A = this chain, B = another copy of it.
Amino acid sequence: MVHPVIRKLEAIEPLTDTERRKIDSLVRDVGDVARKTDIIADGESPNYVHLILEGWAARYKVLRDGSRRITAFLIPGDFCDLHITILDAMDHGIVALTDCRVAYIEQATIDEVTRSTPALTRALWRATLVDEAVLRQWLVNCGRRNALEAVAHLLCELHLRMQLVGLAANDRLDLPVTQEELADATGMTPVHINRTLQRLRNEGLIELGSGTLYVPDVRTLRRACDFDSAYLHLLSSRSVGSEEKRY
């Protein structure tokens, strides 16, 4: 079985067989995390880097009034805290949204890999920078798009990212995320998320139920929220040298 990490990294940087095997070798120590429990808590400085193998997780911050802001969704192939090798402590928490299978990778191992394999270093760097680009899109989502566009854009992102790791065959994917979690991720309320999803359904843009999302026509959905995949810096969309959007 090909690790989702490999699929993900290959989408943004071509890899050789040796490099692929190197990644494979990272996954030694594997563990399970139950839904609703922290993979890493805010303020922690773990000795291991965490990599999601199965399941969904989320970066989040909790405010003093108890409200929560999700700042990213993590799916198989995503690193939770690559930066912990550089920064002192986590400035946010990471919670498992479903039961998760997680790889624990020693910092020393990462250091060794980056020292010996420049292409992988680039790939990891790249992945981090793409995460940052996603954050910027989320910022656009909440400040300058209406609810419908914001949710649509988020769904487009998740759809594409799931595709990259081979988890969205036929435009159908597991979306094991509650509406409350979607609300925390878009800065809306659960009630309004519910109504927005209903509008998306009524307009035939999505089919969503029992944890599964189906996108009848990706083009239409992307056009509805002006989704341009360029910000994900995928190899496939690079240097296409075109002015029109890649819906």
Residues of A within 8 A of B (CB): 43, 59, 61, 63-64, 67-69, 71, 83, 86-89, 91-92, 122, 125-126, 128-133, 135-136, 138-140, 142-145, 186-188, 226, 230-231, 233, 238-239
Contacts and interface: CB of A to CB of B under 8 A. Distances in A.
B135 A233 contact: no
B138 A83 contact: no
B143 A142 contact: yes
A43 B239 CA distance: 10
Contacts of A71: 136, 139-140
Contacts of A233: 87-89, 91
A226 B126 contact: no
Nearest to A131: B132
- Tell me which of A59, A130, A139, A188 has the highest count of chain B C-beta atoms within 10 A of its own C-beta: A139
A187 B143 contact: yes
A159 B232 CA distance: 32
Contact of A61 (B122, B130, B140): B140
Given A88-B238, A142-B143, 16 more contacts: A43-B230, A59-B136, A63-B144, A67-B144, A68-B144, A69-B139, A71-B136, A71-B140, A91-B136, A92-B136, A128-B128, A128-B132, A132-B132, A132-B135, A135-B136, A139-B142
B131 A63 contact: no
B144 A187 contact: yes
14 contacts: A43-B230, A63-B226, A64-B226, A67-B144, A69-B143, A83-B129, A86-B125, A86-B129, A87-B129, A128-B129, A135-B135, A135-B136, A142-B142, A143-B188
Contacts of A144: 63, 67-69, 187
B61 A136 contact: yes
B238 A122 contact: no
Contacts of A129: 83, 86-87, 128
